[in-house]
């Protein structure tokens, strides 16, 4: 039965069911972008199937309790609030359509980002690797890498890019800044292809947004995490996999090869530990910008920033000529 939205409580409008116990939703002022509305009604088990039904209900109940806590709820909303994380987009209260003789009960929904272009695992399955020299387009490699590092920097360091309000007029400069001085590092602990999702592009960008999802294994820490013994080796011991032999043969840019070596170096030293993700992210972003400026593919590639710049330019032109 289709729900009837309570327009006084939400900027979203519910659409049809997805067939998975959730509904599609849209913003009233931007109907071209779909979201997923997760009903709290799932707690009664009416829409839950499978052998882990009780586990799903218990987890949903725990999330419901946390989300409605005045302190914890706001913290959850802040954590799931990043362009490279499947985030909470809003909240809906609605009355379902019911016969006049029945009292319509209030239903609640959390509105999440909808990733309508599947995940990285599906992409791997659809494009089997046939050569160690070249697999996916380099632009896609950079897109996924920079998106994930941006998400990890936010989760671990509590930092994200903001427009620099003190920059000179006409210079759209971005700086890394903290969102909360009391931020505690969050470890995702399941950085796997099946948890890396994509949205369809909405403008001139080559690829849509890349987002990290599935936080069921995530933990919040209050100390710096160092690798376990089984995750590191002595500095004098070479990694089991000789990655250099693969990198030399590959047909990717020097910037990407150097970035891969740089990231793999974190796993080869016995005293490796990470106090902050940001320096790594900034180093990779610098390599990405060099690739984008100096390679033929990079010059043709359009990222989200290019799309935003084009939209702002179009808006400025319209305002100038109005």
Of residues 115, 109, 86, 116, the one with CA closest to residue 14: 109
The domain locations on the chain are 3-113, 120-319
For 120-319, CATH number?
1.10.510
The pLDDT, as a whole number, for residue 52 is: 67
Q: How confident is the model at residue 318 (pLDDT cuts 50, 70, 90)?
A: very low
Is the CB of residue 179 less than 8 Å from the CB of residue 156?
no
* CA distances for 282 relative to 146, 184, 253, angstroms: 10, 20, 19
Q: Give CA–CA dist 212/136, Å, rounded.
A: 19
| Tens digit of each residue's pLDDT (9 = 90 or more) over 4-62 | 444 345 789 999 888 877 899 999 899 889 999 988 755 444 455 555 667 766 766 67
Mean pLDDT for the stretch of residues 231-259: 71
CATH number belonging to the domain at 3-113, selected among 1.10.150, 3.40.50, 2.70.98, 3.30.200: 3.30.200
Q: Where are the beta strands (DSSP E) in 68-172?
A: 88-96, 107-113, 159-163
How high is the pLDDT of residue 53?
Answer: 65
| Residue 6, SS3 per DSSP | coil
Of 218, 219, 216, 198, whose CA–CA distance to 208 is shortest?
198
Strand partners, 177: 160
At 185-202, the pLDDT tens digits run: 999 999 999 999 999 999
Asked whether the whole model's pTM tops 0.85, one would answer no
Q: What is the 3-state secondary structure (H, E, C) of 21-56?
A: CCEEEEECCEEEEEEEEEEHHHHHCCCCCCCCHHHH
């Amino acid at each position: 039965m289709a729900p009837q939205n309570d327009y006084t409580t939400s900027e979203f409008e519910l659409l049809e069911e997805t067939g998975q116990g959730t509904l599609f939703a849209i913003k009233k002022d931007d109907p071209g972008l779909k979201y997923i509305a997760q009903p709290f009604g799932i707690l009664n088990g009416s829409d839950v199937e499978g052998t882990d039904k009780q586990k799903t209900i218990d987890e949903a109940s725990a999330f419901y309790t946390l989300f409605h806590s005045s302190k914890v709820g706001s913290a959850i909303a802040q954590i799931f609030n990043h362009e490279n994380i499947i985030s909470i987009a809003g909240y809906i209260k609605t009355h379902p359509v019911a016969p006049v003789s029945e009292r319509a009960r209030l239903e609640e929904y959390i509105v999440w980002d909808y990733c309508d272009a599947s995940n990285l695992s599906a992409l791997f399955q659809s494009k089997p690797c046939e050569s160690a020299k070249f697999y996916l387009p380099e632009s896609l490699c950079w897109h996924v890498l920079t998106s994930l590092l941006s998400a990890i920097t936010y989760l671990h360091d509590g930092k994200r890019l903001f427009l620099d309000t003190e920059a000179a007029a006409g210079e759209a400069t971005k700086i890394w800044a903290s969102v909360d001085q009391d931020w505690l590092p969050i470890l995702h602990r399941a950085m796997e292809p099946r948890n890396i999702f994509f949205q369809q592009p909405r403008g001139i960008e080559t690829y849509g947004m890349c987002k990290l999802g599935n936080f069921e294994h995530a933990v919040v820490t209050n100390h710096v995490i160092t690798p376990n013994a089984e995750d590191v080796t002595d500095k004098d011991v070479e990694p089991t996999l000789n990655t250099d032999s693969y990198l030399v043969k590959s047909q990717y840019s020097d910037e990407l090869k150097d970035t891969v070596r740089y990231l793999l170096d974190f796993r080869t030293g016995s005293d490796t530990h990470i106090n902050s993700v940001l320096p790594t992210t900034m180093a990779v972003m610098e390599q990405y910008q060099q690739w984008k400026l100096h390679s033929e593919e990079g010059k043709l590639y359009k990222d989200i920033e290019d799309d935003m710049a084009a939209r702002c330019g179009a808006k400025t032109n319209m305002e100038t000529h109005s």
